[in-house]
Amino acid sequence: MDLGISGKRALVCAASKGLGQGCAEALAAAGVDLVLNARGVAALAAAAAGIRAAHGVTVTEVAADITTGEGRARVLAAAGEVDILVTNAGGPPPGMWTDWERADFIAALDANMLTPIALMKALLPGMMARGWGRVVNITSQSVKAPIPVLGLSNAARAGLTGYVAGTARQVAPHGVTINNLLPGIHATDRADALDRTVAEAEGITLDEARARRAATIPARRYGTAAEFGAACAFLCSQQAGFIVGQNILLDGGAVNATL
Ligand code: NAP
Protein backbone atom coordinates (compact mmCIF):
# COMPACT_ATOMS: atom_id res chain seq x y z
CA MET A 1 0.00 0.00 0.00
CA ASP A 2 1.30 3.49 -0.85
CA LEU A 3 1.05 5.41 2.41
CA GLY A 4 1.13 8.74 0.59
CA ILE A 5 3.83 10.24 2.81
CA SER A 6 6.90 10.01 0.57
CA GLY A 7 8.93 13.23 0.91
CA LYS A 8 7.53 14.07 4.36
CA ARG A 9 9.95 14.69 7.22
CA ALA A 10 9.79 12.85 10.57
CA LEU A 11 11.45 13.17 13.96
CA VAL A 12 11.73 9.73 15.57
CA CYS A 13 13.01 9.84 19.16
CA ALA A 14 14.92 7.08 20.94
CA ALA A 15 15.32 5.28 17.64
CA SER A 16 18.73 3.60 17.43
CA LYS A 17 17.28 0.27 18.61
CA GLY A 18 14.05 -1.53 19.36
CA LEU A 19 10.61 -0.11 18.71
CA GLY A 20 11.83 3.39 17.78
CA GLN A 21 14.16 1.91 15.19
CA GLY A 22 11.29 -0.21 13.85
CA CYS A 23 9.21 2.95 13.39
CA ALA A 24 12.10 4.75 11.69
CA GLU A 25 12.68 1.84 9.30
CA ALA A 26 9.01 1.65 8.32
CA LEU A 27 8.74 5.40 7.76
CA ALA A 28 11.92 5.37 5.66
CA ALA A 29 10.49 2.50 3.61
CA ALA A 30 7.53 4.80 2.89
CA GLY A 31 9.95 7.47 1.59
CA VAL A 32 10.02 9.69 4.69
CA ASP A 33 13.20 11.68 5.48
CA LEU A 34 14.26 11.24 9.09
CA VAL A 35 15.74 13.00 12.07
CA LEU A 36 16.89 10.18 14.34
CA ASN A 37 17.72 10.51 18.02
CA ALA A 38 19.27 8.36 20.75
CA ARG A 39 21.97 8.96 23.37
CA GLY A 40 24.63 6.50 22.23
CA VAL A 41 26.56 7.78 19.19
CA ALA A 42 27.75 4.43 17.80
CA ALA A 43 24.38 2.65 17.70
CA LEU A 44 22.71 5.78 16.34
CA ALA A 45 25.27 6.06 13.52
CA ALA A 46 24.83 2.37 12.70
CA ALA A 47 21.04 2.64 12.60
CA ALA A 48 21.18 5.79 10.45
CA ALA A 49 23.67 4.24 8.02
CA GLY A 50 21.54 1.09 7.67
CA ILE A 51 18.41 3.13 6.93
CA ARG A 52 20.17 5.37 4.38
CA ALA A 53 21.60 2.34 2.59
CA ALA A 54 18.31 0.43 2.56
CA HIS A 55 15.89 3.23 1.68
CA GLY A 56 17.86 6.15 0.20
CA VAL A 57 16.18 8.75 2.39
CA THR A 58 17.94 11.62 4.18
CA VAL A 59 18.76 10.76 7.79
CA THR A 60 19.98 13.40 10.26
CA GLU A 61 21.43 12.04 13.52
CA VAL A 62 21.19 13.86 16.84
CA ALA A 63 22.86 12.14 19.79
CA ALA A 64 21.10 13.56 22.85
CA ASP A 65 19.15 12.60 25.96
CA ILE A 66 15.61 13.43 24.86
CA THR A 67 14.42 13.58 28.48
CA THR A 68 16.52 16.68 29.25
CA GLY A 69 15.72 20.25 28.24
CA GLU A 70 19.17 20.67 26.72
CA GLY A 71 18.88 17.43 24.73
CA ARG A 72 15.41 18.30 23.44
CA ALA A 73 16.57 21.78 22.41
CA ARG A 74 19.34 20.29 20.26
CA VAL A 75 17.00 17.70 18.73
CA LEU A 76 14.33 20.30 17.96
CA ALA A 77 16.89 22.70 16.45
CA ALA A 78 18.14 19.96 14.11
CA ALA A 79 14.63 18.79 13.31
CA GLY A 80 13.23 22.15 12.22
CA GLU A 81 9.81 21.80 10.62
CA VAL A 82 8.67 18.17 10.73
CA ASP A 83 5.43 16.65 9.47
CA ILE A 84 5.61 13.55 11.66
CA LEU A 85 6.66 13.14 15.30
CA VAL A 86 7.23 9.76 16.97
CA THR A 87 7.88 10.17 20.69
CA ASN A 88 9.76 7.52 22.62
CA ALA A 89 12.28 7.15 25.45
CA GLY A 90 13.56 4.38 27.67
CA GLY A 91 11.08 2.91 30.15
CA PRO A 92 11.38 3.31 33.94
CA PRO A 93 12.96 0.50 36.01
CA PRO A 94 10.81 -2.24 37.58
CA GLY A 95 10.33 -2.47 41.33
CA MET A 96 7.81 -2.57 44.18
CA TRP A 97 5.42 0.21 45.14
CA THR A 98 7.36 0.53 48.38
CA ASP A 99 10.60 1.31 46.48
CA TRP A 100 9.61 4.56 44.83
CA GLU A 101 10.13 8.03 46.24
CA ARG A 102 9.18 11.42 44.82
CA ALA A 103 12.43 11.66 42.81
CA ASP A 104 11.70 8.33 41.09
CA PHE A 105 8.25 9.54 40.05
CA ILE A 106 9.64 12.86 38.82
CA ALA A 107 12.19 11.02 36.65
CA ALA A 108 9.50 8.73 35.21
CA LEU A 109 7.12 11.63 34.60
CA ASP A 110 9.92 13.58 32.91
CA ALA A 111 10.84 10.71 30.59
CA ASN A 112 7.48 9.20 29.74
CA MET A 113 4.97 12.04 30.15
CA LEU A 114 6.52 15.52 30.17
CA THR A 115 9.07 14.83 27.40
CA PRO A 116 6.47 13.78 24.79
CA ILE A 117 4.26 16.68 25.91
CA ALA A 118 7.14 19.16 25.46
CA LEU A 119 7.91 17.75 21.99
CA MET A 120 4.25 18.02 20.96
CA LYS A 121 4.04 21.56 22.32
CA ALA A 122 7.07 22.53 20.22
CA LEU A 123 6.04 20.84 16.97
CA LEU A 124 2.23 20.89 16.85
CA PRO A 125 1.95 24.63 16.02
CA GLY A 126 3.98 24.19 12.81
CA MET A 127 1.97 21.13 11.77
CA MET A 128 -1.29 22.99 12.43
CA ALA A 129 -0.12 26.03 10.47
CA ARG A 130 0.74 23.80 7.51
CA GLY A 131 -2.57 21.93 7.83
CA TRP A 132 -1.10 18.42 8.12
CA GLY A 133 0.68 16.43 10.81
CA ARG A 134 0.94 13.06 12.52
CA VAL A 135 2.04 12.31 16.07
CA VAL A 136 2.50 8.79 17.38
CA ASN A 137 3.47 8.30 21.01
CA ILE A 138 5.00 4.97 21.98
CA THR A 139 3.43 4.19 25.37
CA SER A 140 2.68 0.71 26.78
CA GLN A 141 0.02 -1.94 27.26
CA SER A 142 0.29 -0.90 30.92
CA VAL A 143 -2.04 1.97 30.03
CA LYS A 144 -4.87 -0.55 29.49
CA ALA A 145 -3.83 -3.22 31.99
CA PRO A 146 -1.40 -2.39 34.79
CA ILE A 147 1.92 -4.22 35.04
CA PRO A 148 2.43 -4.21 38.83
CA VAL A 149 6.26 -4.20 38.79
CA LEU A 150 6.21 -1.23 36.40
CA GLY A 151 4.28 1.15 38.66
CA LEU A 152 6.37 4.13 37.55
CA SER A 153 5.51 3.38 33.92
CA ASN A 154 1.83 2.76 34.73
CA ALA A 155 1.61 6.17 36.39
CA ALA A 156 3.58 8.28 33.90
CA ARG A 157 1.99 6.80 30.78
CA ALA A 158 -1.51 7.18 32.19
CA GLY A 159 -0.78 10.90 32.56
CA LEU A 160 0.37 11.17 28.94
CA THR A 161 -2.70 9.25 27.78
CA GLY A 162 -5.01 11.71 29.51
CA TYR A 163 -3.18 14.65 27.94
CA VAL A 164 -3.38 13.14 24.45
CA ALA A 165 -7.10 12.37 24.81
CA GLY A 166 -7.93 16.05 25.10
CA THR A 167 -5.20 17.54 22.94
CA ALA A 168 -5.87 15.23 19.98
CA ARG A 169 -9.38 16.70 19.74
CA GLN A 170 -8.04 20.25 19.82
CA VAL A 171 -5.57 19.81 16.97
CA ALA A 172 -7.69 17.53 14.74
CA PRO A 173 -9.51 20.45 13.05
CA HIS A 174 -6.13 21.47 11.60
CA GLY A 175 -5.38 18.18 9.84
CA VAL A 176 -3.16 16.91 12.65
CA THR A 177 -3.70 13.55 14.33
CA ILE A 178 -2.25 12.33 17.63
CA ASN A 179 -2.50 8.65 18.56
CA ASN A 180 -0.75 6.32 20.98
CA LEU A 181 0.69 2.90 20.16
CA LEU A 182 0.66 0.53 23.14
CA PRO A 183 3.28 -2.21 22.87
CA GLY A 184 2.83 -5.47 24.67
CA ILE A 185 5.98 -7.54 24.89
CA HIS A 186 8.28 -7.16 21.89
CA ALA A 187 11.67 -8.77 21.32
CA THR A 188 13.99 -5.84 22.10
CA ASP A 189 16.77 -5.02 24.57
CA ARG A 190 14.11 -3.68 26.94
CA ALA A 191 12.31 -7.04 26.95
CA ASP A 192 15.65 -8.79 27.57
CA ALA A 193 16.27 -6.53 30.57
CA LEU A 194 12.83 -7.26 32.04
CA ASP A 195 13.21 -11.00 31.42
CA ARG A 196 16.67 -10.97 33.00
CA THR A 197 15.15 -9.46 36.17
CA VAL A 198 12.59 -12.30 36.27
CA ALA A 199 15.26 -14.95 35.57
CA GLU A 200 17.46 -13.67 38.40
CA ALA A 201 14.55 -13.36 40.86
CA GLU A 202 13.26 -16.88 40.12
CA GLY A 203 16.57 -18.69 39.54
CA ILE A 204 15.74 -19.70 35.95
CA THR A 205 17.50 -19.10 32.64
CA LEU A 206 16.74 -16.17 30.35
CA ASP A 207 15.28 -18.59 27.77
CA GLU A 208 13.00 -20.09 30.41
CA ALA A 209 11.83 -16.64 31.47
CA ARG A 210 11.08 -15.78 27.82
CA ALA A 211 9.26 -19.07 27.22
CA ARG A 212 7.13 -18.56 30.34
CA ARG A 213 6.17 -15.06 29.24
CA ALA A 214 5.45 -16.12 25.65
CA ALA A 215 3.15 -18.86 26.96
CA THR A 216 0.94 -16.17 28.57
CA ILE A 217 0.38 -14.42 25.22
CA PRO A 218 -2.41 -15.76 22.97
CA ALA A 219 -0.10 -15.34 19.92
CA ARG A 220 2.49 -17.45 21.86
CA ARG A 221 5.39 -15.23 20.84
CA TYR A 222 6.89 -11.79 21.27
CA GLY A 223 6.12 -9.04 18.75
CA THR A 224 8.80 -7.72 16.43
CA ALA A 225 10.04 -4.17 15.95
CA ALA A 226 9.18 -4.49 12.24
CA GLU A 227 5.53 -5.29 13.02
CA PHE A 228 5.41 -2.39 15.44
CA GLY A 229 6.99 -0.04 12.92
CA ALA A 230 4.50 -1.01 10.23
CA ALA A 231 1.61 -0.05 12.52
CA CYS A 232 3.32 3.26 13.30
CA ALA A 233 3.85 4.05 9.61
CA PHE A 234 0.18 3.33 8.92
CA LEU A 235 -0.89 5.75 11.67
CA CYS A 236 1.32 8.34 9.95
CA SER A 237 -0.21 7.65 6.53
CA GLN A 238 -2.69 9.71 4.53
CA GLN A 239 -5.17 6.84 4.95
CA ALA A 240 -5.12 7.18 8.76
CA GLY A 241 -6.31 10.79 8.80
CA PHE A 242 -9.62 9.92 10.53
CA ILE A 243 -7.94 8.02 13.41
CA VAL A 244 -7.82 10.58 16.23
CA GLY A 245 -6.86 10.20 19.89
CA GLN A 246 -6.80 6.41 19.88
CA ASN A 247 -4.83 3.97 22.02
CA ILE A 248 -3.93 1.00 19.87
CA LEU A 249 -2.68 -2.19 21.51
CA LEU A 250 -0.05 -4.31 19.75
CA ASP A 251 0.18 -7.18 22.19
CA GLY A 252 -0.62 -10.52 20.54
CA GLY A 253 -3.88 -10.58 22.52
CA ALA A 254 -2.17 -10.37 25.91
CA VAL A 255 -4.63 -7.88 27.41
CA ASN A 256 -7.70 -10.01 28.04
CA ALA A 257 -10.47 -7.50 27.37
CA THR A 258 -13.42 -7.26 25.00
CA LEU A 259 -12.88 -3.57 24.26
P1 NAP B 1 15.11 -0.60 23.70
O2 NAP B 1 15.18 -1.76 22.75
O3 NAP B 1 15.88 -0.68 24.96
O4 NAP B 1 15.54 0.70 22.86
C5 NAP B 1 15.49 1.94 23.48
C6 NAP B 1 15.98 2.99 22.49
O7 NAP B 1 15.77 4.26 23.07
C8 NAP B 1 17.48 2.91 22.18
O9 NAP B 1 17.71 3.36 20.88
C10 NAP B 1 18.07 3.88 23.20
O11 NAP B 1 19.34 4.33 22.78
C12 NAP B 1 17.00 4.98 23.17
N13 NAP B 1 16.90 5.78 24.39
C14 NAP B 1 16.68 5.32 25.65
N15 NAP B 1 16.63 6.34 26.51
C16 NAP B 1 16.81 7.47 25.77
C17 NAP B 1 16.89 8.85 26.08
N18 NAP B 1 16.76 9.27 27.36
N19 NAP B 1 17.07 9.75 25.09
C20 NAP B 1 17.21 9.33 23.81
N21 NAP B 1 17.17 8.04 23.45
C22 NAP B 1 16.97 7.12 24.42
O23 NAP B 1 13.61 -0.30 24.14
P24 NAP B 1 12.23 -0.67 23.41
O25 NAP B 1 11.86 -2.06 23.76
O26 NAP B 1 12.30 -0.27 22.01
O27 NAP B 1 11.20 0.23 24.21
C28 NAP B 1 10.83 1.53 23.77
C29 NAP B 1 9.77 2.05 24.73
O30 NAP B 1 8.64 1.17 24.69
C31 NAP B 1 10.22 2.10 26.19
O32 NAP B 1 9.68 3.24 26.82
C33 NAP B 1 9.63 0.85 26.78
O34 NAP B 1 9.40 0.96 28.16
C35 NAP B 1 8.32 0.75 26.00
N36 NAP B 1 7.79 -0.61 25.98
C37 NAP B 1 8.51 -1.61 25.44
C38 NAP B 1 7.98 -2.90 25.46
C39 NAP B 1 8.77 -4.07 24.90
O40 NAP B 1 8.34 -5.21 25.07
N41 NAP B 1 9.87 -3.89 24.22
C42 NAP B 1 6.71 -3.14 26.01
C43 NAP B 1 6.01 -2.07 26.53
C44 NAP B 1 6.55 -0.80 26.52
P45 NAP B 1 20.40 4.92 23.87
O46 NAP B 1 20.36 4.01 25.04
O47 NAP B 1 21.70 4.95 23.13
O48 NAP B 1 19.89 6.30 24.20
- Is ligand 1 within 6 A of the CB of residue 108? no
Contact 15, 86 (CB under 8 A): yes
Cα separation, 8 vs 6, in Å, equals 6
- Ordered structural domains, the chain, with CATH: 9-186+223-250 (3.40.50.720), 187-222 (no CATH)
Write the residue with the smallest CA distance to atom 33 of ligand 1: 91
**Residue 61 backbone zone (phi > 0: left; psi -120 to 50: alpha; other: beta):** beta
**Dihedral sign of CA atoms 165, 170, 173, 175 in order:** negative
**Which residues are CB-neighbours of 155 under 8 A, at least 6 positions away?**
105, 108, 109
Alpha carbon distance 126, 129 (integer Å): 5
- Looking at residue 60, its pLDDT comes to 98
The set of residues, in sequence order, having a beta carbon less than 8 Å from that of 41 and lying 6+ positions away, is 63
Residues of the chain with confidence (pLDDT) below 70: none
Closest ligand 1 atom to residue 15 Cα is 9
* Residue 229 beta carbon below 6 angstroms from any ligand 1 atom: no
The predicted structure's pLDDT at residue 108: 98
CA 23 / ligand 1 centre spacing (Å): 12
Kindly give the distance from the C-alpha atom of residue 129 to the centroid of ligand 1, in angstroms, as a whole number: 31
Mutational test site, ligand 1, from 13, 34, 39, max ligand atoms within 8 Å of CB: 39
| Residue 142 alpha carbon, nearest atom of ligand 1 | 43
Instruction: Provide the pLDDT for residue 72.
Output: 98
Per-residue pLDDT, 240:
98
- pLDDT of amino acid 90: 94
CB-CB contact of 94 with 26 (8 Å): no
The residue whose CA is least distant from atom 13 of ligand 1 is 14
d(CA 14, CA 20) in angstroms, rounded, equals 6
What is the DSSP annotation of 72-90?
A: HHHHHHHH-S-SEEEE--P
pLDDT in tens, 199-240: 999 999 999 999 999 999 999 999 999 999 999 999 999 999
Nearest ligand 1 atom to the CA of 138 is: 30
pLDDT of residue 156: 98
Cα distances (angstroms) measured from residue 11 to each of 20, 21, 191: 11, 12, 24
232-246 pLDDT, tens digit per residue, is 999 999 999 999 999
Q: Whose CA is nearest to atom 15 of ligand 1?
A: 90
The protein residue whose alpha carbon is closest to atom 32 in ligand 1 is 91
